């Protein structure tokens, strides 16, 4: 794949992957992107996952032809991108490694060497000339590890953006960008909105015509769309109008109440009701929805004087990811000593600018007339 006359794609698709980063289901696989700039000097950007070393080195060799690379630019040390550094160095021993100081510390940790004799430390604003292509390094700490740099090529106006603007999914599968980019962003980078905002601010000073991320497709059209979404996501803004309901139900009584609530929300004009059964859905999809919509209803049962385990995991994940700026409705069910609403309220304490609306729906075993009225009132509040 050609990005420009001088920039070539040398990444790989992974359809054998079980769970990405040990936890995310990726039904359409994963892409580990890598790029080569061919100029008077040659730079290779990032390696790929450990399982694809040979395929990647063959891709690189096919682009290089008779020439040898001058620089391996390591933008991110997470092993999905850095696992083949040693193999690359064995194949091309005269290549200089370019990375942040923190990345070299991590190389020492991962590989036992920090390449003292062949390293070039890239600091904020440092330039590296390849000939026509002048590369400028920009630090992007915590997007999504502390050592990350992104790189701007001012000849082709390309931003090599590391994990930013990445998504789940291999490149040989057609799928909607936003859906899998959102699930990727909130699962992996979501906690670091402030740092992602800082990177967007730096990017806004650059004339970017193409974004080359380390996962997902190269973006070269309608960049405003992607930048706007990243701005909404990283500022914890509301992307879509509607209500997200996350629930757990043991014998179906809470589920029935959630169904009535969803019907009432729709009757009252709510443009979209997204329902997630936390015991059965992909938790990362539910987390993504909680960040996508501005209004969220949590419905669960009292369990071991606490809340049902999937709801506990869900709220814990939201809090860990800095979930904020949301309106929340609560529904609890318990046959005796209900504590669910109290526990959920306490768990949400640390989520900034989160407002819990009244009434809280309290079901004792199964829905009764009072509950129907509470559900109607909660639907009214959520539709305001
Ligand atoms: Fe794609 Fe943070 O590694």
Q: Specify the ligand 1 atom closest to the Cα of 166.
A: 1
Q: Is the CATH number 3.20.19.10 carried by domain 241-382?
A: no
Q: Using 50, 70 and 90 to split pLDDT, how confident is the model at 144?
A: confident
Residue nearest to atom 2 of ligand 1 (CA): 78
3-state secondary structure the chain: CECCCCEEECCEEECCCCEECCCEECCCCEEECCEEEECCCEEEECCCCHHHHHHHHHHHHHHHCCCCCCEEECCCCCHHHHCCHHHHHHHCCCCEEEECHHHHHHHHHHHCCCCCCCEEECCCCCEEECCCCEEEEEECCCCCCCCCEEEEECCCCEEECCCCCCCCECCCCCCCHHHHHHHHHHHHHHHHHHHHHHHHHHHCCCCCCEEECCCCCCECCCHHHHHHHHHHHHCCCCCEEEEEEEECCCCCHHHHHHHHHHHHHHHCCCCCEEEEECCCCCHHHHHHHHHHEEEEEEEEEEECCEECHHHHHHHHHHHHCCCCCCEEEEEEECCCCCCHHHHHHHHHHHCCCCEECCCCEEEECECCHHHHHHHHHHHHHHHC
- Ligand 1 centre distance from Cα of residue 126 (Å): 23
Choosing among 3.60.15.10, 3.30.428.10, 2.40.10.10, 3.40.50.300, the CATH entry for 7-234 is 3.60.15.10
- Is any atom of ligand 1 closer than 6 Å to the C-beta of 321? no
pLDDT of residue 2: 84
d(CA 249, CA 99): 49
Residue 36's pLDDT band (cuts 50, 70, 90): very high
> 137 falls in which pLDDT band (50, 70, 90)?
very high
Q: Tens of pLDDT along 321-343?
A: 999 999 999 999 999 999 999 99
Atom of ligand 1 nearest to the CA of 163: 1
> Given pLDDT bands bounded at 50, 70 and 90, which one contains residue 138?
very high
Q: How far apart are CA 362 and CA 137, in angstroms?
A: 55
Does the CB atom of residue 46 touch ligand 1 within 6 A? Answer: no
Q: What is the pLDDT of residues 84-97, one digit of tens each?
A: 999 999 999 999 99
Q: CA-to-CA distance for 41 and 53, rounded, in angstroms?
A: 23
Beta carbon of 163 within 6 Å of any ligand 1 atom: yes
Over residues 255-260, mean pLDDT? 98
Instruction: Tell me how far the alpha carbon of residue 159 lies from the centroid of ligand 1, in angstroms.
Output: 17
Nearest protein CA to atom 3 of ligand 1, as residue: 78
Decide whether any atom of ligand 1 lies within 6 Å of the 78 Cβ. yes
344 to each of 295, 304, 307, 315, how far by Cα in Å? 16, 14, 8, 8
Q: Where are the domains of the chain?
A: 7-234, 241-382
Q: Mean pLDDT across the chain, nearest whole number?
A: 97
What is the distance in A from the centroid of ligand 1 to the CA of 360? 40
Distance (angstroms) between ligand 1 centre and the Cα of 163 equals 5
Residue 167 beta carbon below 6 angstroms from any ligand 1 atom: no
Residue whose CA is at the smallest distance from ligand 1 atom 1: 163
Token look-up 């109440």 returns: 257
Name the token pair of 26: 């990726």
* Ligand 1 centroid from CA 22, angstroms: 12
Alpha carbon dihedral 314, 318, 321, 326, in 10-degree steps, equals 160
Q: Residue 43 above 90 pLDDT?
A: yes
Find the mean pLDDT for residues 196-215: 98
State which ligand 1 atom lies nearest to the alpha carbon of 214: 1
Residue 215: CB within 6 Å of ligand 1?
yes
């Amino acid at each position: 794949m050609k990005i420009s006359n001088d920039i070539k794609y040398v990444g790989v698709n992974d359809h054998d992957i079980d769970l990405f980063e040990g936890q995310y289901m990726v039904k359409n696989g994963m892409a580990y992107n890598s790029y080569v700039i061919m100029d008077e000097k040659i730079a290779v950007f990032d390696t790929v996952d450990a399982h694809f070393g040979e395929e990647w080195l063959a891709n690189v060799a096919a682009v290089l032809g008779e020439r040898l690379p001058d620089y391996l630019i390591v933008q991110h040390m997470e092993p999905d991108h850095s696992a083949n550094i040693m193999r690359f160095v064995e194949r091309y021993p005269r290549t200089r490694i370019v990375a942040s100081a923190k990345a070299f510390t991590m190389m020492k940790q991962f590989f036992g060497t920090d390449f003292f004799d062949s390293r070039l430390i890239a600091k904020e604003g440092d330039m590296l000339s390849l000939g026509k292509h002048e590369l400028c390094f920009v630090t992007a700490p915590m997007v999504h590890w502390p050592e990350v740099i992104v790189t701007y090529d001012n000849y082709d106006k390309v931003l090599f953006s590391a994990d930013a603007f990445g998504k789940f999914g291999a490149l040989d599968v057609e799928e909607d960008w936003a859906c899998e980019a959102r699930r990727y962003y909130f699962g992996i980078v979501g906690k670091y909105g402030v740092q992602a905002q800082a990177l967007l601010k730096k990017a806004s000073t650059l004339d970017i015509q193409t974004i080359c991320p380390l996962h997902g497709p190269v973006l070269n059209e309608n960049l405003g769309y992607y930048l706007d979404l990243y701005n909404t996501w990283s500022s914890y803004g509301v992307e879509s109008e509607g209500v997200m309901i996350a629930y757990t139900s043991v014998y179906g009584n809470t589920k029935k109440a959630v169904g009535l609530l969803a019907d009432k929300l729709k009757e009252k004009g709510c443009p979209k009701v997204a329902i997630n059964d936390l015991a059965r859905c992909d938790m990362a999809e539910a987390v993504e929805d909680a960040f996508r919509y501005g209004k969220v209803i949590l419905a669960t049962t009292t369990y071991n004087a606490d809340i049902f385990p999937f709801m506990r995991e869900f709220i814990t994940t939201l809090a860990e990811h800095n979930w904020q700026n949301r309106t929340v409705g609560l529904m609890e069910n318990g046959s005796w000593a209900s504590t669910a609403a109290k526990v959920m309220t306490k768990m949400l304490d640390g989520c900034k600018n989160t407002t819990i609306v009244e009434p809280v729906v309290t079901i004792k075993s199964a829905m009764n007339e009072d509950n129907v009225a509470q559900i109607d009132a909660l639907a009214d509040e959520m539709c305001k």
